[in-house]
Chain A
């Protein structure tokens, strides 16, 4: 069981990190779009 848990936890960390990075990018663009007319 522990092997699967290890792999799962690694993948989860990677996924959460990626997701919030994408959210951050998403907000960056929203800011740039708001500044432009």
Chain B
């Protein structure tokens, strides 16, 4: 990401930010609400084009999990993962993700039921599994620990540890425990 700045409705959110992530990096982004954490992550994932500057991602898949991104509630957890694997062109990754999900304490009985029936904690675990599916070279997590119990939080730490050997991790959080996981830190201030 080189010299990225982003304005939204006249308000400058990011100004001249440059950032490079190399495989194995775990970058934690912290800052008050509205400092632009989510904007930065969305630009890094390529979901949002910055007003100026650019963001390039090396080859390979990008995994992204955020509060404003939901699984398909009509489909079951299994179908969500299988579908995501198929459109990412790595068919067997679905089974691997389901195995990971079960290991993450996701009740097997809920695998076939529509995602709408999941509790928020289970839904968050599913989202993490969907983000991690296919071993992305860049994993972006926006407050992954939200509405997760303690056991869930340790799951996030394990996930980051695993993802680290595939590629880089970009994590935005206000939770001090999660912030400690990161190697590199970036503090965002509210600009205006």
In the complex they form, whether A and B have CB atoms below 8 Å apart is answered with no
